[in-house]
Amino acid sequence: MSLIDGTRAELALVVLYLNKAEARDKICRAIQYGSKFLSNGEPGTAQNVDKSTSLARKVFRLFKFVNDLHALISPTPQGSPLPLVLLGKSKNALLSTFFILDQIVWLERSGIYKNKERADLIGRISLFCWMGSSVCNTLVELGELGRLSASMKKLEKDLKNSDKYQNEQYSSKLKKSNERSLALIKSVMDIVVAVGLLQLAPKKVTPRVTGGFGFVSSLISCYQLLPSPAKTKTP
């Protein structure tokens, strides 16, 4: 493969990535929370970027509640424990509610909806919904990691006389475990961000702490959305 072909393939992946509305939203989220970290709640250019990017992101989230509404009414995989199923459905319900309420906040900030006091209350309720969904997701990831760990230990016993890393089933479970561990870290960070936005612990979770956790969480989201590189055919 020539240098030009290689560059073209890499650019194709970048185009594929940037064509995703979710990817653009997460990039804007990284800018938003990076600006919050720099401003630390103080007036200035960084805070203006934070506020303007926050408003711009709300446009990306128009009708996004449909995704979680669909997941809420979709059947669950067979064999899933009931507690994890209920937590997963609760997460979908809370996240869908967050996106619906967030649209009302966008309408007020755009000047369409005139009741600022009610919009502020709705915005606060929406953040509690988002925090609740993050808590549910954290518990789901912990439960799924526990199930994966148990199945991997059982598989290790069956493969004690061979290289477990050469086993396709074990490698697949290890990959899933790594992905869920990263998702768990992100969910915990999002809980801290929600606490900061709601000002539930203003002395400990300052705007800078909120911005830092939100920035790292956004980078994780950007990484999770990366497209898989195309597999090259071996001659």
Mean pLDDT within 97-105: 94
Instruction: Quote the pTM value.
Output: 0.88
The pLDDT score that the predictor gives to residue 1 is 53
* Interhelix angle 21-39/45-60, nearest 10 degrees: 160
End-to-end CA distance of the chain: 12
pLDDT value at 34 more than 50: yes
pLDDT band at 22 (very low <50, low <70, confident <90, very high): confident
Q: What is the pLDDT of residues 166-181, one digit of tens each?
A: 888 888 999 999 999 9
pLDDT band at 163 (very low <50, low <70, confident <90, very high): confident
CA distance 129 to 181: 23
Q: What is the pLDDT of residues 42-99, one digit of tens each?
A: 999 999 999 999 988 888 888 889 999 999 999 988 888 999 999 999 999 999 999 9
Rounded percentage of the chain residues whose pLDDT exceeds 70: 96
CA distance 85 to 80: 7
